[in-house]
Amino acid sequence: MKLYLLIASYCLISILFGCKKSTLDNKTTTIIPEYAKKQLTVIMISVDGFRPDYLELPQASDLKKLSEKGVKADYMLPSFPSSTFANHYTLATGLYPENHGIIDQRFYDRTYGEFNVKKGASKQSKWFLGKPLWTLAAENKTPFLSSWWFGSEANGPSSEVIPYDNDKDKKEGDPGAFKERIDKIITDLNNPIVETRPNFIAFYISNVDVAAHQNGPNASQTIAAIQKTNDAVKKLVDEVSKLNLPNVNYVFVSDHGMVEANTSNPIQYPAIDEKKFIVTTDETMIQLYAKDVKDIQTTYEALVKTKDASRYDVVLKKDNTLFATGSKDPHNRIGDILLIAKSPYQFQFQDDKNSTTGTIKYKALKKGCHGYDPKNNPAMNATFFAWGSAFNKTTIPSFKNVDVYPLVAHTLGLKYTHPIDGNKNTLVNAKVLKNIK
């Protein structure tokens, strides 16, 4: 029934408005391709920290086979900073971090305070701007399911969202931890009522990133995590194939890569007057938010004099060129002064200090790091490949991750009129997609 309604709606629109070629760049609507008029499904899988070269490992043999069935990019360029939260929400919205508001793992908003996932920020819609794919799907009356994808639980609990579970995340090294979420996807796809069967599914896997942070990107534990991810994706694909659904498509992405971090010579936390600044910290970027703008220049100059230029940069927001839109900060969430580590170095932070002896205890350093400028660090490159009824078998050059959003939207026939940073014409063409004229 849903198929007939879609075809009827499309025909009515064509009669009323005529059939025009799409000219979508940043602010026009999509035209529904032939295959998107059918009961089509897109399953977007993100494996956190999965570098493109991991596909060449024997432990990723099934993933490699899947990548050879459709379109595969040399690599996908993350947005700055190459961090998990910022880039997962970029993939979901087609916006750069400074435009969708999630500019790093931790940051400060002068209205809302500190963004901290450990304090429940990921469940608060006030932090999340733009229109993510699951919201776009709902507006287009297209059923969806999101499993752990960052940002999807911001509007509260719902049957369409499996919220991120930190306790289960820690257990994802156990293949059984994937089972519950894969079973949920299969159950929903096996729904005999076509009108409520999800057409868009977002599925997030974290274990490769977790293992690489703890042990290094080339460690045996990380290789084992890659094997378990490979097996989980194969399991998902095999179980979906048993349902005999028409027009199933997969988009496999990662948010960033990973580098072997320097743990022998960490960058010590510099002298910062925290009475004058609110400070947010991450291992590769420290942001200073001035309480009084008069303190910005003098503090910047002092930090420049003491910095180790071989290991990190000190940048004023007004001079920033690392974020994609430069010094623009439409939501005022970027720090007035940025301390940005150079690969493979990381900042070291105090964890505790003994009041009697004065002995300082430091937080553990990570053996694998990301967050660096992706334009100058190939190890930050992310992965992209897609296969299924909508995709051709081909290899394409690298592209920016903001371009995934218009690809998925167009493939599903989801209309949108809001501006995005992604360029539809990068991926929506006859080389990537079938039936594109």
**Same domain assignment for residues 244 and 303:** no
Sign, CA dihedral 69-256-207-250, equals negative
**pLDDT confidence of residue 309:** 87
Q: Is the distance from CB of 414 to CB of 137 less than 8 angstroms? A: yes
**Same domain assignment for residues 216 and 329:** no
Q: Is residue 104 part of a domain?
A: no
**pLDDT confidence of residue 156:** 74
**pLDDT confidence of residue 240:** 97
| Token code pair at residue 38 | 């059918």
**Same domain assignment for residues 247 and 396:** yes
Q: Is residue 196 part of a domain?
A: yes
Q: How far apart are CA 223 and CA 198, in angstroms?
A: 32
**pLDDT confidence of residue 350:** 85
Looking at residue 406, its amino acid is P
**Same domain assignment for residues 189 and 70:** yes
Convert the pLDDT of each residue in 279-326 to its tens digit: 999 999 999 999 999 999 999 999 999 888 899 999 999 999 999 988
Q: How far apart are CA 353 and CA 357, in angstroms?
A: 8
In the predicted model, is pLDDT for residue 168 greater than 60? yes
**pLDDT confidence of residue 353:** 57
Convert the pLDDT of each residue in 70-117 to its tens digit: 999 999 999 999 999 999 999 999 999 999 999 999 999 999 999 999
The residues, ordered by sequence, that sit 6+ positions from 139 with a Cβ below 8 Å of its Cβ are 131
Q: Encode burial over 89-116: b for 16+ CB neighbours within 10 A, e otherwise.
A: bbbbbbbbbbbbbbbbbbbbbeeeeebe
Tell me the C-alpha to C-alpha distance, in Å, between residue 234 and each of 61, 69, 208, 346: 10, 14, 16, 35
**Same domain assignment for residues 8 and 79:** yes
Lowest mean pLDDT among 126-130, 164-168, 191-195: 164-168
CATH of the domain at 385: 3.40.720.10
Q: How far apart are CA 203 and CA 161, in angstroms?
A: 10
User: Region 118-139: what's the mean pLDDT?
Assistant: 94
**Same domain assignment for residues 150 and 73:** yes
- Helix (H) or strand (E) run with residue 41 in it: strand 41-47
Share of the chain above pLDDT 70, in %: 87
Pick from 378, 376, 403, 324: nearest CA to 71:
403
Domain end residue (candidates: 347, 375, 403): 375
DSSP 264-316: SSPEEPP---TTTEEEEE-SSEEEEEESSGGGHHHHHHHHHHH--TTTEEEEE
Q: Is residue 329 part of a domain?
A: yes
**pLDDT confidence of residue 88:** 98
Q: In the predicted model, what is the mean pLDDT of the chain? A: 89
**Same domain assignment for residues 420 and 323:** no
CATH of the domain at 317: 3.30.1360.180
Share of the chain above pLDDT 90, in %: 77
**Same domain assignment for residues 394 and 247:** yes
| Overall domain count for the chain | 2
**Same domain assignment for residues 150 and 194:** yes
**pLDDT confidence of residue 12:** 40
**pLDDT confidence of residue 157:** 76
Domain end residue (candidates: 360, 375, 390): 375
* 108 vs 167, more confident: 108
**pLDDT confidence of residue 136:** 96
User: Region 410-436: what's the mean pLDDT?
Assistant: 93
Q: Encode burial over 235-260: b for 16+ CB neighbours within 10 A, e otherwise.
A: bbbeebeeeeeebbbbbbbbbbbbbb
Q: Is residue 101 part of a domain?
A: no
**Same domain assignment for residues 145 and 205:** yes
pLDDT band at 174 (very low <50, low <70, confident <90, very high): low
**pLDDT confidence of residue 25:** 44
- Helix (H) or strand (E) run with residue 138 in it: helix 133-139
**pLDDT confidence of residue 161:** 92
Residue 46 domain boundaries = 2-95+130-260+378-427
Residue with tokens 């002064």: 337
Convert the pLDDT of each residue in 347-406 to its tens digit: 999 876 555 555 567 889 999 999 999 999 999 999 999 999 999 999 999 999 999 999
Domain end residue (candidates: 342, 358, 375): 375
